Amino acid sequence: MNVFLRCFIFSAFVFFADCIIAQNNNRLTRAERRAQREQEKQEKKKLELERLVEERYFLEQQELNKLGPVTAKDVVYIFGVGTNFNDSTVYLTRIAQLDSIRIDKKTGFLPNRVEFSIQLKQFLEGTLGLVNETTCIFFSDDRKKIAKYFYKLKKRYLDEGYRNMIVVDSSDFSFVIPSFLLSR
């Protein structure tokens, strides 16, 4: 055989050997394939969740557009109650007026009402140093209704044997409308 042919055969052999080695390096183990499939499933779920969130946001925006923009005439009155069931003290906030927010006419609920309850809980547990406080809020777009319910609830707590009732002053705590609600 001639030298040229030997070099050609040797280089072809080296080339095919490199291809086989590279192919073996690209093969994944079972665990790696399983992990890759799990990652693909997670990405698919994430994309589906993002699509659902966008769809829901779009529907909410359509409903809000039907109602028109929130104006200064849209007012909600709100107060909160905080208590620990292992304690005989009840904390009541004063009735606050929140401007430029409205109650959802379809459901009758205040949008993102949990945010206001969390604000009160953080005040009671953070500022006053209380532990395991349960908080709730009451709201209405009618000042007379909420005032009537405030005094009714206050009387009920006093009748049920709660020894201490502390009305939190407006200078100490006030509800703040979250910024994402103001942008609506």
Same-domain pairing of 114 and 147: yes
Which neighbouring-strand residues pair with 82?
Answer: 91, 135
Same-domain pairing of 96 and 158: yes
Q: Are the beta carbons of 102 and 70 closer than 8 angstroms?
A: yes
* Spatial separation of the C-alpha atoms in residues 42 and 38, rounded to whole Å: 6
Same-domain pairing of 12 and 88: no
> Which residue ranges of the chain lie beneath pLDDT 50?
none
CA-wise closest residue to 112 among 178, 45, 55: 178
Q: Which residues of 148-167 are buried (b: 16+ CB within 10 A; e: fewer)?
A: ebbeeebeeeeeeeeeeeee
* Spatial separation of the C-alpha atoms in residues 169 and 163, rounded to whole Å: 19
CA-wise closest residue to 117 among 165, 78, 155: 78
Same-domain pairing of 104 and 126: yes
CA 113 to chain centroid, in Å, comes to 11
Same-domain pairing of 148 and 111: yes
Q: What pLDDT sits at residue 121?
A: 92
Q: What pLDDT sits at residue 72?
A: 53
Q: What pLDDT sits at residue 67?
A: 56
The CA radius of gyration of the chain, in Å to the nearest whole number, is 32
Q: What pLDDT sits at residue 85?
A: 83
Same-domain pairing of 53 and 106: no
Interacting residues of 119 by C-beta distance below 8 A, sequence separation 6+: 175, 176
Same-domain pairing of 39 and 125: no
Same-domain pairing of 12 and 50: yes
- What's the total number of domains in the chain? 2
**φ, ψ of residue 108 in degrees (nearest 5):** 80, 10
Name the DSSP letter for residue 136: E
pLDDT in tens, 48-95: 888 887 887 777 666 656 655 555 567 889 999 998 888 888 899 999
Same-domain pairing of 157 and 137: yes
Which residues span the domain enclosing 23?
3-67
Q: Are the beta carbons of 135 and 80 closer than 8 angstroms?
A: yes
